[in-house]
Structure 1
Amino acid sequence: MVEANIPGLVSIGLFYILILAIGIWAGRKTKQRGNDATVENIMLASRNIGPVVGVFSTAATVVGGAFLNGTAEMTYSRGLVWCQATYGFALSLLVVALFFAKKMRSEGYVTMLDPIQKKFGLVMGGFITIPTILADVSWSAGILGALGGTLSVLIGLDSKVSVVVSACIAILYTLFGGLYSVAYTDVLQFFCVLIGLYMAVPFAAHHEAVQEIGTTATDWIGKVEPYEAGAWLDVFLLTMLGGVPWQVLFQRVLSARTAKTAQFFMIVASLCAFVLATPAVLIGAVAYSANWTDTKYFREGRPVPIPADDQKNVLPLVLQYLCPTWVSFIGLGAVSAAVMSSADSSVLSASTMFTRNIYKTVIRRTASEREQIWALRCSILVCGIFATIIGIFVPTVYGLFVVSADLVFVIVLPQLICAVYVGFANTYGSAASYIVGATLRILGGESIINLPVILKYPWYDEEKQLQLFPFRTFASAVTLITLISVSYLTNAIFTRWHVNKKYDIFRCFSKPPTTEEKTKAVGLEFSPLDTKDNMNHVEGNGIAKSGSEHSNAAMTDDDNGVIDANRL
């Protein structure tokens, strides 16, 4: 570890104070405390996020510290073609825009899991909430771990201390102002990343120890061998499609003023994600093209080439040893900004789902508005603490970055697709697919978390103990097929073959309760805004009046899906 750098510590301290001040200002400005506060407004910023703030907030959320450090790491170690997570997650925003943003926003849902609970029941929805919360917490952990490595390299600050301090700042302003604070700080963080990393690239590329990156392009671009094609495709689909069912994205979609604005968020933010990823790729290329024996890095007694355990810190190493000191400090601010913008969003996302889809609908259906607000604040604190603890022990930035999308790809994505698009989908299909998907994924193993391989798919590499078959994609596809097939079969059993309804243990086909009974039992209140028959939308500020007519309209069952408090 380098000696503590006082100017660096001062600069990062001032940056954190600025971020905290903006977060608190945003919270006070929007009156998210006291008698004026409502839990939905804290979660969704009163559904009043405009296009400019929405785009920058979405892009800054996706491009976190793990995104940047992981991109530089993989470009250096395996080549650009193996950065599937980089362009996969960026493309996932387009998928959200094209297939989910308008439908979800028009229905006025509060979380991504609302349509799932509406379709498959409360308890089943609670089970589906678990992997999404775990994914958000693990993503936050990976992001914080990336910052710890960066600060330890650049200014000699102990990685554990940096993780704890950064997490505390993000948690504090998120507690204070909810999505408003997160969104406003994201705007500053977006421009910090944009300016800081683009400024560092030319200085690093023109260092005397670095040869022209064009001459080494074949190596740092990399290639995919034929036998690796299945594994490559698996990770790409995992990040592109597995990057869809994330509450951090839908929190922006559902906070937009209109459905069209929500689509605009996602499309433009996707392009911004590619723009922000470019300097990280170039920094990885510079690191590959550098003769590290001609740098201070080697003179300090560090091993050359960079060992595998240190490759996750390629980006801060380039900033430290191939850039002037003042440039490295600006780059440090960029990475810190990226971390904060994603960590706060993930913590708020996990807390929102817990409060809305577990606490309110499963644990305490009669919870008051004030009680829900305190449940949200407590869950923000707990999720932040867990992410901090895990982040201190992150084994690999890129690995945790990918694993975060793994759970939602296999388990949650099929549930969301069917809840939104498959009218006859029901709880029987949901429960069966959940079990099948989780089983297949667990049996496939995962070396990053030391999960042994039990089910060896075709082309399994015994020597490297590596699945070369796209087993994650296979598990996700089987999960989707299972959900559709079992739902279709049970529909046929109870509606066409007229089997006695007493065997309908999940009460999907039993006589439905009245709308008033369902609304009271479930406690989910939606505010559909962009439908022609809704006249409760205040034009110009995007705030919908809440009322029983909203809840009743949103809780209307489709032909086959009946929600009931006693289901499961």
Structure 2
Amino acid sequence: MALNVLGVVSMVVFYLIVLGTGVWAARKAREAKRKSSGDRTAVMLLGDRKINMVLGIFTMTATWVGGGFILGVAEAVYNPEMGLIWALMPIQYSLSFIFGGAFFAKPMREKRYITMMDPFQQKYGNILSGILVLPALLVDVLWVSCTLLSLGVTMSIILDLPYYVSVWLSASVAIVYTLLGGLYSVAYTDVIQLSLVFLSLWLCVPFIMINPKSLDISQTAFKYMYQRPWMGTLVWDTVWKWIDDFLMLGLGSVSFQSFHQRTLSSSSSKTARLTCFAAAVAVSILGIPPVLIGAVAASTDWNQTQYGWPPPYVRGEQTLVLPLALQHLTPQYISIIGIGAVAAAVMSSTDSALLSATSVFSSNIYKNILRRSASDREFNWVIRLTVVIVGVVGTSLTFLTNSALLLWILGADVSYTLIFPHLVAVLFFKITNGYGAFVGYIVGVTVRLLLGENTIGLPVILPLPGCTLEDGVFVQKAPVRTVSMLFSLGTILAFSLLFTFLFKRGILPEKFDVYNVKSTCTEPAADAQNRRETEPNDHTEGEALQPMQKSS
């Protein structure tokens, strides 16, 4: 197969448009920084908290509808071992947005946090919050890898570009415009990228659906034709795993820094909530095209295509089914348009993950722990350097696996089992303290490791009821991720109550109370009322910025 010159030229034009938009947005960011009289960190990382609802919907949706989303949904629908019933990511993310908008957006935005980790830092101090930052950084790095991997395999198949060229070129463009303008560049480029994703995917669908090499997907939904029905099946011994996956993606997404970066950048708490609800609808609509492409691929007689027989899943190439379907089931110019959709989706998620990891490290680690006296100039250079490092590390990880779905689910696993219970505890349970959080973190990590994960070769040490031995390997049938999450949350609350009791009753000496548990419990009612009345509260658009309260 020769190099697809027309496709390469089209991709170069697209990258230039995105880069130009990023440069224009960077100028807007510099103007906002000059005019800002408040915390300039909010300008770079949160767009000066002036992202309106329309722009917020675009950037929130574009962040989740990435390359891993598009390729992962198509792969799951096509995979004979899974099917549509296991590919509910669009619905799960929609529920995640609704859940996040209903319960998380308002309290986070009204407290004017810079990152998702700020409530931990304010309540637990620097050492413990620094430990809690690590899984948040890991999630974002895995997300960068997942999105770039999906674009690399797509471009290498359709354009016949070397895989490493595709990946590093895309990563470089995303790194450059993220460096230039921070959230302003990310948000405004998301408008172009999401528009292209929507138009391109829906333009490809009719050509995929009417190709003569595939049967009507209604015939193959429940009937065995070229492979198992693409609707999939849910047998009794996999019900708990299905529930586990559903909860992991539906709840775990709320503990992504990328989600909170968009709500915290909104012009008000009301705008933040409405943005979440609108994005829930948008992400469902954008999940339909990859579902249809995966269903058509499962209904195709691949022997009639240039790809030949056996089909992709027999060759172990089910992860590549979307680009393969575009290449062999559509005209060349349509496959190029499909590449544009994947590229736009990848860029929109990659830049978000880059900025997300950068925000957590630069604000919660560097500025609040390592260098509290850092100047604006120094802090800006730290942000730029972190963007580059995260981009390089994330890009390098794409060479370790060929499954975007694997990286996607692994990141969601870490978010759900380790970050989500801590976020719920610190925001909604006043009794939570540093002792409970520390023990909960240790227990959560230990339990999750002991329960194992076959997809990455982590052996099962602690088999739960229903665990079976298959081909010499223990396979868990129980909802291991949810069990780990509940163990962690329960431990946080239980040990927080225990240490509150011990210090309040004087059983433990006050000199050991490094998290000030006793003083928190004995806070006078009048002081508590005064503190609540002086907490920042924003119900109007465009309020003046306030510096973030730092941990003592």
Partner of 1:283: 293
Q: 2:201 aligns with which of 172, 197, 200?
A: 197
Partner of 1:480: 489
Partner of 1:58: 60
The more displaced of 28-37 and 372-381 is 28-37
Q: Deviations along 1:35-58, whole A, 9 cap, x unmatched? A: 668322110001000111100110
Partner of 2:132: 128
Q: Give the C-alpha shift of residue 509 in structure 1.
A: 3.1
Partner of 1:40: 42
Q: Which runs of 4+ in 1 moved over 4 A?
A: 32-37
Partner of 2:525: none
AA aligned opposite 1:26: A
- The 1-side partners of 2:32 and 2:180 are apart by 8
Partner of 2:466: 459
AA aligned opposite 1:44: L
- The 2-side partners of 1:394 and 1:192 are apart by 28
The more displaced of 401-410 and 174-183 is 401-410
- The 2-side partners of 1:103 and 1:374 are apart by 31
- The 2-side partners of 1:210 and 1:527 are apart by 61
Q: Give the C-alpha shift of residue 394 in structure 1.
A: 2.7
Partner of 1:427: 434
Q: Give the C-alpha shift of residue 294 in structure 1.
A: 0.9
SS in structure 2 of the partner of residue 362 of structure 1: helix
The more displaced of 157-166 and 460-469 is 460-469
- The 1-side partners of 2:492 and 2:377 are apart by 37
CA contact (8 A) 1:85 1:402 kept: no
Q: Give the C-alpha shift of residue 85 in structure 1.
A: 3.4
- The 2-side partners of 1:235 and 1:459 are apart by 17
Q: 1:294 aligns with which of 294, 304, 321?
A: 304
Q: Which ranges of structure 1 fall in alignment gaps of 5 or more residues?
A: 513-525, 532-538, 556-562
Q: Give the C-alpha shift of residue 348 in structure 1.
A: 0.4
CA contact (8 A) 1:159 1:392 kept: no
Partner of 2:282: 272
Partner of 1:413: 420
Q: Give the C-alpha shift of residue 25 in structure 1.
A: 0.7
SS in structure 2 of the partner of residue 403 of structure 1: helix
AA aligned opposite 2:511: K
Partner of 1:558: none
Q: Deviations along 1:224-266, whole A, 9 cap, x unmatched? A: 1100111111111111111110111110000000101000111
Q: Give the C-alpha shift of residue 3 in structure 1.
A: 2.5
Q: Deviations along 1:290-315, whole A, 9 cap, x unmatched? A: 111111222xxx63354353111111
Q: 1:333 to 1:211 in 2, by over 3 A?
A: same
SS in structure 1 of the partner of residue 468 of structure 2: coil
Partner of 2:69: 67
SS in structure 2 of the partner of residue 297 of structure 1: coil
AA aligned opposite 1:7: L
AA aligned opposite 2:405: Y
SS in structure 1 of the partner of residue 30 of structure 2: coil
Q: Which ranges of structure 2 fall in alignment gaps of 5 or more residues?
A: 223-228, 522-533
SS in structure 2 of the partner of residue 462 of structure 1: strand
- The 1-side partners of 2:326 and 2:366 are apart by 45
- The 2-side partners of 1:274 and 1:462 are apart by 38
Report 1:232-381 matches (<5 A).
232-298=242-308, 303-307=310-314, 309-381=316-388
Q: Give the C-alpha shift of residue 223 in structure 1.
A: 1.3
- The 2-side partners of 1:347 and 1:211 are apart by 42
Q: 1:156 to 1:117 in 2, by over 3 A?
A: same
Q: Give the C-alpha shift of residue 397 in structure 1.
A: 1.3
Q: Give the C-alpha shift of residue 84 in structure 1.
A: 3.9
Q: Give the C-alpha shift of residue 34 in structure 1.
A: 8.0
Q: 1:511 to 1:8 in 2, by over 3 A?
A: closer
- 1:159 and 2:158 equivalent? no
The more displaced of 366-375 and 484-493 is 366-375
Partner of 1:518: none
- 1:400 and 2:412 equivalent? no
Partner of 1:522: none
SS in structure 2 of the partner of residue 157 of structure 1: coil
- The 2-side partners of 1:511 and 1:26 are apart by 44
AA aligned opposite 1:468: K
Q: Give the C-alpha shift of residue 327 in structure 1.
A: 1.0
Q: Give the C-alpha shift of residue 111 in structure 1.
A: 0.5
Report 1:101-250 matches (<5 A).
101-218=105-222, 219-250=229-260
- The 2-side partners of 1:132 and 1:270 are apart by 23
AA aligned opposite 2:536: P
- The 1-side partners of 2:330 and 2:537 are apart by 50
AA aligned opposite 1:292: W
Q: 1:36 to 1:168 in 2, by over 3 A?
A: farther
- The 1-side partners of 2:173 and 2:69 are apart by 20
Partner of 1:560: none
Q: 1:107 to 1:166 in 2, by over 3 A?
A: same
Partner of 2:528: none
Q: 1:120 to 1:32 in 2, by over 3 A?
A: farther
- The 2-side partners of 1:262 and 1:156 are apart by 42
Partner of 1:501: 510
AA aligned opposite 1:417: V
Q: Give the C-alpha shift of residue 324 in structure 1.
A: 1.0
Q: 1:34 to 1:474 in 2, by over 3 A?
A: closer
- Give the fraction of aligned pairs with identical amino acids, expressed as a percent: 39
CA contact (8 A) 1:69 1:397 kept: yes
- The 2-side partners of 1:356 and 1:24 are apart by 24
SS in structure 1 of the partner of residue 114 of structure 2: coil
Q: Give the C-alpha shift of residue 497 in structure 1.
A: 4.4
SS in structure 2 of the partner of residue 345 of structure 1: helix
Q: Give the C-alpha shift of residue 546 in structure 1.
A: 2.9
- The 1-side partners of 2:498 and 2:331 are apart by 66
- The 2-side partners of 1:417 and 1:329 are apart by 44
Q: Give the C-alpha shift of residue 361 in structure 1.
A: 1.6
Q: Give the C-alpha shift of residue 5 in structure 1.
A: 0.7
